[in-house]
Amino acid sequence: AERVGTEPSVFTRILRGEIPSEIVLQTDDVFVIRDIAPQAPVHLLVVPKTDAYRDVTELAAADPKLLASMVEVARTAAEQAGAADFRLVFNTGAGAGQTVFHVHAHVLAAGRRHADGA
């Protein structure tokens, strides 16, 4: 079959259990996984369960409360990973390195490494 623009994102497929990735934290609206290619000792991805928004500018315009929920979950997930302080990065647009067009925040920190290395 031809690939079309509406196929599920990698994050939707993880949420559905079609691609293995441990969900380290979730709320009704947001879930957190470890990045498969970590760029820091702690590198988490905070992802809305909805795939309705391609990037943070769309999300902020349409549902600022969901964006605030992502920030709150980032804080909780960073603390759970042993990081009090963290960077929160939204790559926005292909030219800035965005590769998955299902909005997500990178949580990057120098906290303790996960024992399982993932």
- Report which of 84, 76, 83 is spatially closest to residue 114, judged by C-alpha positions: 83
- Smallest distance from ligand 5GP to CB 73, Å: 16
Write out the binding residues for ligand 5GP, residues 26-65 only, by CB under 6 A. 33-37, 45
Asked if 104 is an active-site residue, the reply is yes
Query: Is residue 94 involved in binding ligand 5GP (CB under 6 A)?
Result: no
CA–CA separation, 22 and 52 (whole Å)? 22
- Smallest distance from ligand 5GP to CB 90, Å: 8
Using alpha carbons, list the distances in angstroms from residue 92 to 89, 96, 99, 105. Answer: 9, 6, 9, 10
Query: Is residue 92 involved in binding ligand 5GP (CB under 6 A)?
Result: no
Question: What are the residue numbers of the active site?
Answer: 104
